[in-house]
Structure 1
Amino acid sequence: MSDDADAVEDGSAGDPAGAGSQTTEPVLYDDLSGQVALVTGANRGIGREIATNLRDLGATVYAGVRSVTYDLPDGVRRATLDVSQEGDVQDALNTVGEEAGRLDVLVNNAAVGGSGEPLHETRTADLDHAISVNLRGPTLLCKYALPPLLRQETPRIVNVSSGMGALDEPQSGGSPDYRITKTGLNGLTRYLDGEYGDQGLIANSVCPGWVRTEMGGEEADRSPAEGAATPTWLARFRDGPGGLFWRDRSVIEW
């Protein structure tokens, strides 16, 4: 299992005609001092970069990682967390609450890649694992994180998705487990916005592009820092749109 999410291939559409111009220009926090963030899969790749960025902005950052042995960025706190285990999710949120007393930002980044095979050749065990980590895990994290998030003035959830889950793109080339779960993650974002947006929650999905990580491979055209740029930007929203799918700070089609 990988502890960072990234687009396995750069399959996202560009900014659709007029989409960026139809959204309100966000107001950003320049300083996150006093705020608390939980980033899953923060020991490497995109997640590590996001955690480092939020730390540098002044936030208290918890890294949700599966092992106590994983190396973390300096100054980032550990929350041992396998997102596929509901008990771990509850324990991690309890740790954040007991130690920090609040939660302002949740970044659902941890994920596993696809099998690479078409659906009729994909093992059921691989499908189950991807659903558990890529979709059920973020849903459970939102379930338990929403109560402390909604107590804050500007709660944010950033779901690290992929263009491979975009319905506007041709869904071919294998990896049905990855594609379907990322489409589902986008559905979670839309639900969160519809259900909790009027309570102040700003929930967005983001495609980081094709990133050079363990999941993305060495041939990918983006560095982890480049992949983390837009998720970090979304985590800084003080006043801005939610319920959207972003790439390179522009709205893309679902």
Structure 2
Amino acid sequence: MMNEFIDAAQSETHGDLGYPSTAYGVSKIGVVVMTKIYARMLREKKEDILINVCCPGWVRTDMAGPKATKSPEEGAETPVYLALLPEGATEPHGQFVSEKKVQEW
């Protein structure tokens, strides 16, 4: 799908195929799907590693600008929560996490 989007964007036919006019959202979909694939591979190999994808929210940065609703500290809460899951935790794994909660995808 990612290659299809790239090819379509380069030939300026991505809109005809239903893709948005920016790559940002498509890239985020790719990261979520890649995370789910890697999680499945880790489970099959019985690796004791958790992998998740998270959204920090709309954070005041150079990219989002000063009107974003979260401070950098608030935006860091979910990534830090995931990084500090207790030893032996088995979930969340292969999930999309926002506001420290698994979001259906």
TM-score band by shorter chain is 0.7 to 0.9
% identity of equivalent residues = 34
1:209 corresponding residue in structure 2: 57
Please name the residue that 2:78 is paired with.
230
Q: Aligned pairs, how many?
A: 85
Would you tell me which structure has more helix in proportion to its own residues? 2
Query: What are the ranges of 5 or more consecutive residues in structure 1 without an aligned counterpart?
Result: 1-118, 125-170
Other structure's SS at 1:206 match: strand
Matched, 1:189 2:35: yes
Residues 1:179 and 2:42 are matched in the alignment: no
Q: Compare the two structures and name the one with the higher strand fraction.
A: 1
CA distance in structure 1 between the partners assigned to 2:49 and 2:26 by the alignment = 25
RMSD of aligned residue pairs (Cα, Å): 2.0
Whole-angstrom distance in 1 between the partners of 2:24 and 2:81: 25
What is aligned with 1:38?
none
Partner secondary structure for residue 76 of structure 2:
helix
SS of alignment partner, residue 246 of structure 1: strand
SS where residue 222 of structure 1 aligns? coil
- Cα distance between partner residues in 1 of 2:104 and 2:25: 15
Matches within 5 A, 1:8-157: 124=10
Q: 1:240 aligns with which of 73, 83, 90?
A: 90
Once the 2 structures are TM-superposed, how far is the Cα of residue 248 of structure 1 from its aligned partner?
1.0
TM-score for both structures, normalised by structure 2:
0.72
Runs of 4+ in 1 over 4 A off after TM superposition: none
